[in-house]
Structure 1
């Protein structure tokens, strides 16, 4: 622990001491400068800002003639508004980067009345000397979290700051009343939002032949046509797809429902609502494809369809994907259950010579060579010769972009290739994948994943892909043998849909890029930041904003 952090002692309040420890563990130092904090974009018309603006205006009136400042931060701890009436206060805030768009998390600036209340989920007073970073010690402040009265989620934090060694005891009641006013306005806005969603739903659902579903933050509306068409598990998939609809215009795509019915989907954001989306579904044919025939659900581009088409091929096949994405299962589907299997990871145990002899010993039937990215150059050359000579060979590897140059020669010889997508990118297929895993774990058991639990599972990042999903469901199946799997049956870390379920399309792409960079660099955040071309601080900020484990 550095010298500044060593000041933590029994005389310091417990909540402040804990905050100092968190700041020290994030790599921050007391002498860290705050003049170059990253500034990120935020939505100026967010429901938080709309609800808070009149309250902040009223507070600004009360601040006239003082050197106090009021700051509003969102749930990602980005400052989205601030109010003051003294130019000296404005300059002082600018010098510590307390400006709109700056993220005042504890990782960035240490103990403060925006980031610390978000960590402890309650109001916190921070006196001047209690700030972790020296640049903040001239200020004293009080911050209080703002909860959405409908969802009970934290929407942001309201803070009042003054230039003084001790925070005024009147800060807390003044700010708590302001927070109550903001929460009341959020409640009223939610009611208005629900009314607008209902009006849009009623107007669209007038045509009885059209299936219509409306999704709000805590509300789902469905007409009779949609009830007849949709299975419960479809709602989780539809909500996930609807969340990617653009703010203007519409999202249109084709998909296959859980029942096997192919439909065309049209999703539109509902104006005047926080996140309301209207979804219209039009059947593309009146013939439903049986649920059990998942490989034939009018989705010829799915990985399983392509694998099935390769079973009779005599050419070398390359199957790529992230660890846990089902490469071994895919290889055996193509090669057949009697195929000989060689794993490149066994070179370390067997030695290069013995491994090469096993490779050469397979002269008939099919051969599966797994994890070819681990092969040394000499064995790659040996494998290339075997691909030219026969027998039929199926290779598995990491994504092609991650293959060492020496391995690319073997991959290049394979004319048939199947790239297995990561589970986090298979939202449309997630319900079917989860059901297949459950059936494999508990054949014949009457188990079903409830829509709310499925929604929570779909929203997870799944760094371990299908393998991770299998372990989660295995844990549940050991405790429950029949009935619905609910959110409460899920492990604690998987119960909340988390921030990922509320990301825009652009934010999902950014989140996926970060996950991919961390995978490529083996979790090394310094190297991941370099790979992405951003600072380590920015990487930590984005990971926190997207709910990624740090």
Structure 2
């Protein structure tokens, strides 16, 4: 049952679709008093297919709305505002005051119930009047929003909204806007036909080369025979991720290892007017070197193989290795991989509260002085300071081989930092968000581990959606998602619809480049180290406060 009296406005109970939207907004942690000036700004693509198709329609609407207290707002498939037009200048000023400006994302989780976010969520036209808005700042407006859907693919392309002050609301809003949406959808169809012709022309030009050639459009994939033999679905997902960078940043050339084991030099160029890219792949290795399937590690073991290699090198040289990384990044698996067939004894700092300091310390002393195999000390950052100091002293004299795991090194301080400093051989595991190119292969290895012998695979669309997620839980979270998808599909392709609700829909935020991701992580680390104090974080990073605030907004960092 839906509580239709949930926070009901002065005019009476909420309509069911509005009440459900209010409930979603509340579950997102939003409050009616939440301000709109905290919304994240992002770069917009003014040359996108949607913007180009909508521009003439918006121009015509602007002429019709001249000298009226009305505005029309265009948002893309991610609810990011990309254009707006208004009659009176005062309307533009009012929109500025509530953050309705190009580059701002209007989602229910950040802006509550309104005629951009709610049609985007429901995929149908919605009117929102005055007090039906969830945020107090929006209650003086009335608006109607309608989704823009591609006529061929039936995928959401964006939302068109018409907004006015509550007293200027008119029942003709809906038919006026629906007509404009139909015009935009027709122009999208015409553009798609033109785009397809451009993609074919680019492919015909590129296929004259003897090397493998691939063209990726938003809805079209073209490949010559050499590329078809070389690539599989997992490779397509990685290349499509690269195509997004090419479209926004320009031509790229890089080396890439394909799932077959072949290393190729990839040259990618944007195909103007299509939102697509052309790839030329030149094999670097003459012979493919796939890993034999019977010996190939699976699941999280596969994810830790890369990290374990430098750790093994360190372990061969010395008796001590430290493996650091975020929770779920594969610390335990990488540590166990160093056993090389010897017995492994594990001491977990998380067990100190249950066992007691004395009993845990006695067990530590015994293992580090007499255990003949490998001793793994898990999560040293959770040790009480006194135990961390005691472990440091023991490691100075104990003969046992030991591997310690910890949180990222820049998060350690005091005795924990001193303990880490005594172990010069260190391996820091990257978070999954920094390994997006590896993600398709990791997901495939995990799928093979939980469904051995089954004819199940990830479709390219599902892999693209996985690669777009932030993965705060790292490999552990990815493994849970893979198991969920495997339970939903016993055979055939796992599509985007088979992924859990947390992964569904368009990515909520723009994808970060590798440089932006590094900047994001550095700022987040500084904020954590300073307890969220932005002044001290700016000093730690060597930048001004204003620069820090701008980067926090631009990178979508939540503090």
How far apart are residue 57 of structure 1 and its match? 1.3
Identify the match of residue 434 of structure 2 among 418, 425, 429.
425
How far apart are residue 18 of structure 1 and its match? 3.5
- 1:358 aligns with 363
The unaligned stretches of length 5 or more in structure 1 are 296-300
Identify the match of residue 20 of structure 2 among 18, 21, 29.
18
- 1:263 aligns with 264
Identify the match of residue 160 of structure 1 among 143, 149, 162.
162
Identify the match of residue 139 of structure 1 among 138, 141, 144.
141
CA shift digits 1:2-32 (9 cap, x unpaired): x994537863322333344455566666666
- 1:399 aligns with 408
Identify the match of residue 55 of structure 2 among 29, 37, 53.
53
Identify the match of residue 176 of structure 2 among 174, 177, 200.
174
Please state whether the residue corresponding to 2:437 is helix, strand or coil: helix
TM-score, normalised by the number of residues in structure 2:
0.82
TM-score, normalised by the number of residues in structure 1:
0.83
Contact residue 126 and residue 167 of structure 1 kept, 8 A: no
How has the CA–CA distance of structure 1 residues 197 and 256 changed in structure 2, closer, same or farther, with 3 Å as cutoff? same
Is 1:80 matched up with 2:78? no
Contact residue 124 and residue 146 of structure 2 kept, 8 A: yes
Identify the match of residue 386 of structure 2 among 374, 378, 381.
378
Please state whether the residue corresponding to 1:145 is helix, strand or coil: strand
How far apart are residue 392 of structure 1 and its match? 1.5
How far apart are residue 427 of structure 1 and its match? 3.3
Higher deviation after alignment, 18-27 or 46-55: 18-27
User: Paired residues, what number?
Assistant: 532
Contact residue 258 and residue 431 of structure 1 kept, 8 A: no
How has the CA–CA distance of structure 1 residues 308 and 245 changed in structure 2, closer, same or farther, with 3 Å as cutoff? farther
- 1:331 aligns with 335
Please state whether the residue corresponding to 1:408 is helix, strand or coil: helix
Is 1:281 matched up with 2:281? yes
- 2:541 aligns with none
Superposed, which structure 2 residues align to 1:119-268 within 5 Å? 119-133=121-135, 136-165=138-167, 167-207=169-209, 209-245=210-246, 247-268=248-269
Please state whether the residue corresponding to 2:438 is helix, strand or coil: helix
Identify the match of residue 318 of structure 1 among 322, 330, 333.
322
The unaligned stretches of length 5 or more in structure 2 are 298-304, 539-544
Identify the match of residue 375 of structure 2 among 364, 367, 377.
367
Please state whether the residue corresponding to 2:319 is helix, strand or coil: coil
CA separation in 1, counterparts of 2:89 and 2:475?
56
CA separation in 1, counterparts of 2:40 and 2:503?
32
Identify the match of residue 466 of structure 2 among 457, 473, 485.
457
CA separation in 2, counterparts of 1:44 and 1:131?
29
- 2:301 aligns with none
CA RMSD of aligned residues (A): 4.0
- 2:68 aligns with 66
Contact residue 68 and residue 87 of structure 2 kept, 8 A: yes
Please state whether the residue corresponding to 1:44 is helix, strand or coil: coil
Contact residue 310 and residue 334 of structure 1 kept, 8 A: no
- 1:298 aligns with none
